[in-house]
Amino acid sequence: MKNKKLYALLAIVIITASCKKTFIERSSLDGTTLTNYYNTAEEVRSLTSTLYGLPWSGYENRAMDVIGDVMAGNEYTGGGNADDAPFLNFTLASTAVRVADAWKVFYKIGGWTSEYMKALEQKKAMGGDASFIDPAIAECHFFKGTVYFFIARIWGDAPIINNPGETALGGQFNVPRYLKKDVLQFALEELKLAEAGLPETDPVPGRLNKYAAKGMMAKLYLYRKDYDSAKTKALEVIQSNKYDLVEDYAGMFNSSANNNNKESIFAVQHQLTGNPWGSGNQKNPDRGPGNLQTDEASMWELYLPTMDMREAYETGDIRRQGSMMEHGWSKPAWKPQNSNATYNAFMAGGYKYDTTQTVGDGGQKNDTRSNIAKYVVGPGAKYGGETVLGMNTGINTMILRYADVLLIYAEAVLGDNASTTDTEALAAFNKVRERAHVPVKSSITADDILQERRVEFAFEGDYWFDIQRQGFAKAKAIISAQNRGTADYPSYITTFTESMMHLPIPAVEVLQDPELSKDPVPYY
């Protein structure tokens, strides 16, 4: 989101200064005041623009992979990767870097939104224009509701910090864990406020509207197994006719030219600047194959598709090639070059993924003989791709897509039934399958939908939550059946326990707040 004053307001509200805990943010002050700012729609929207990109970085980059897909059995990461490998075999500890990264992101966004809303409410009380202040407050409610939805799914019982400034100033640092059901309820109430206050549409691509709130509410309702409410909210999004599926599935994920497409309901917004650290998307190097590296684009293939994921697709499913690079995958427009003449000749007609060619001369042969294609935008502008600045690209990361709403609707109609032949549920479900070029179904079960969700949203950080909401017994069966090893050495999980259904609270947080080690208490 190219907003001229993206960071103009960071002095009046909280930015990076924090008090005793990473999830309680303290305000910082300078010459900017409520009197001389927030006087125009542009100034107010520049404030909430800060919520769309930078603060998501610590989760979106790597934590999202290991929590959403490595734990879920979709992504493999080598044993030499000490920060991530424990998520593959569920040996992670409360000191895990990615656990702390995700925690900081979500409680930071929760803190920012609380302070933003407080400042905007004060401005409105001073005579500020409600016509542009109220929608901004609603944006904050959306972000707060969304991050607490993530918090509930990742940690289960967790702190709720609704007024970080008051908490900090009051010196009440011993914050308890609240029951997971209450954290979910808190998230839902925030999303309801977002739905009520957001506009029907926004002229700026990528900015929120009320249907984004409805879609996220539908996802939360489905997670809680409130099928009637999930169905209602998903149907409201569908009947709005504001969204549709993008015909080119792969295109959504390999070019920033497709940012804020007709399928994207909510996405983390990225932009490349002179110093894009934090504002750029960093999935390109973490996923891209080593033989695609150039002097413009870094590639270190930190995460790969698992062998199990490679077996998940039906014959003819175009999502396979849109999601993974395997032997025979090619991209004629990308023409990477380096100092090796043999390599240059091999790639002269366009990028080739070849597991038989000698590595170094253009071949690609890693642990699972595959790479993730989603959010890999190529070798750089000089080599036929788009602009890449080292490890940074400008492609957005979609958090909620219209395909998700369609599958939520189908599952909500199914509910607790063994199967359904409901016409509307099948229409929503089969629309996703038709885009994928796989045969439609005349009846669907919960397993059909779970499988569809896995291949539709592979490598998008979502499948772990789909497994988790099945309950421990089924989650254990799913995890235990997955081959999480390499092409040469299969590996299976045999020690999955119920304690692994949620992540541990970061050790440093428990050390600073002993209440977090105690039993959770009700929030309501």
Condensed to tens digits (0 to 9), the pLDDT of residues 437-465 reads 999 999 999 999 999 999 999 999 999 99
Condensed to tens digits (0 to 9), the pLDDT of residues 120-176 reads 999 999 999 999 999 999 999 999 999 999 999 999 999 999 987 776 666 667 899
Asked if the structure places residue 71 within a domain, the reply is yes
Q: Is the pLDDT of residue 2 over 60?
A: no
The DSSP bridge partners found for residue 267 are 398
Angle between helix 180-197 and helix 130-155 axes, rounded to 10 deg: 160
Q: Is the pLDDT of residue 118 over 50?
A: yes
Please tell me the predicted confidence (pLDDT) of residue 181. Answer: 98
Query: Which candidate, 193, 177, 245, places its Cα nearest to that of 430?
Result: 245
Dihedral, CA of residue 393, residue 395, residue 396 and residue 399, to nearest 10: -100
Asked if the structure places residue 441 within a domain, the reply is no
The mean pLDDT of 471-475, rounded to a whole number, is 98
DSSP 8-state assignment for residue 380: -
Asked if the structure places residue 92 within a domain, the reply is yes
Query: Which candidate, 13, 23, 186, places its Cα nearest to that of 105?
Result: 23
Asked if the structure places residue 196 within a domain, the reply is yes
> What is the Cα–Cα distance from 194 to 181, expressed in whole angstroms?
20
Residues 47, 143: contact at Cβ < 8 Å? no
> Is 6 or 502 the better-scoring residue by pLDDT?
502
Number of domains in the chain: 1
Please tell me the predicted confidence (pLDDT) of residue 446. Answer: 98
Please tell me the predicted confidence (pLDDT) of residue 345. Answer: 98
Tokens representing 208? 């929120």
Asked if the structure places residue 353 within a domain, the reply is no
Other beta carbons within 10 angstroms of residue 248's beta carbon come to 15
**What is the rounded average pLDDT for all residues in the chain?**
92
Confidence tier at 3 by pLDDT (50, 70, 90): very low
Asked if the structure places residue 383 within a domain, the reply is no
Condensed to tens digits (0 to 9), the pLDDT of residues 234-284 reads 999 999 999 999 999 999 999 999 999 999 999 999 988 766 666 899 999
The mean pLDDT of 36-43, rounded to a whole number, is 93
Q: Is the pLDDT of residue 11 over 70?
A: no
* Residue 57's CATH number: 1.25.40.390
Please tell me the predicted confidence (pLDDT) of residue 31. Answer: 56
Residues 92, 99: contact at Cβ < 8 Å? yes
Please tell me the predicted confidence (pLDDT) of residue 107. Answer: 96
Q: What Cα–Cα distance (Å) separates residue 25 from each residue in 137, 139, 168, 197? A: 18, 19, 8, 25
Q: Burial level of 347, CB count in 10 A (0-12/13-18/19+)?
A: buried
Other beta carbons within 10 angstroms of residue 137's beta carbon come to 23
Condensed to tens digits (0 to 9), the pLDDT of residues 338-362 reads 999 999 999 999 999 999 999 999 9
Condensed to tens digits (0 to 9), the pLDDT of residues 189-205 reads 999 999 999 999 999 99
Q: Which domain holds residue 52?
A: 1-233+460-524
Confidence tier at 5 by pLDDT (50, 70, 90): very low
Length of the chain: 524
Residues sharing a CB contact under 8 Å with residue 201, sequence separation 6 or more, in sequence order: 209, 242
Q: Is the pLDDT of residue 15 over 50?
A: no
The DSSP bridge partners found for residue 401 are 264
Confidence tier at 33 by pLDDT (50, 70, 90): confident
Confidence tier at 79 by pLDDT (50, 70, 90): confident
Q: Is the pLDDT of residue 9 over 50?
A: no
The mean pLDDT of 378-399, rounded to a whole number, is 96
Residues 449, 414: contact at Cβ < 8 Å? yes
Tokens representing 230? 């999930």
Please tell me the predicted confidence (pLDDT) of residue 402. Answer: 99
Please tell me the predicted confidence (pLDDT) of residue 370. Answer: 98
Residues 109, 13: contact at Cβ < 8 Å? no
Q: Is the pLDDT of residue 7 over 70?
A: no
Please tell me the predicted confidence (pLDDT) of residue 21. Answer: 46
Asked if the structure places residue 348 within a domain, the reply is no
Q: What Cα–Cα distance (Å) separates residue 106 from each residue in 5, 15, 51, 143? A: 23, 14, 11, 9
Asked if the structure places residue 435 within a domain, the reply is no
Please tell me the predicted confidence (pLDDT) of residue 53. Answer: 92
Q: Which amino acid, one-letter code, is at 453?
A: R
Q: Is the pLDDT of residue 293 over 50?
A: yes
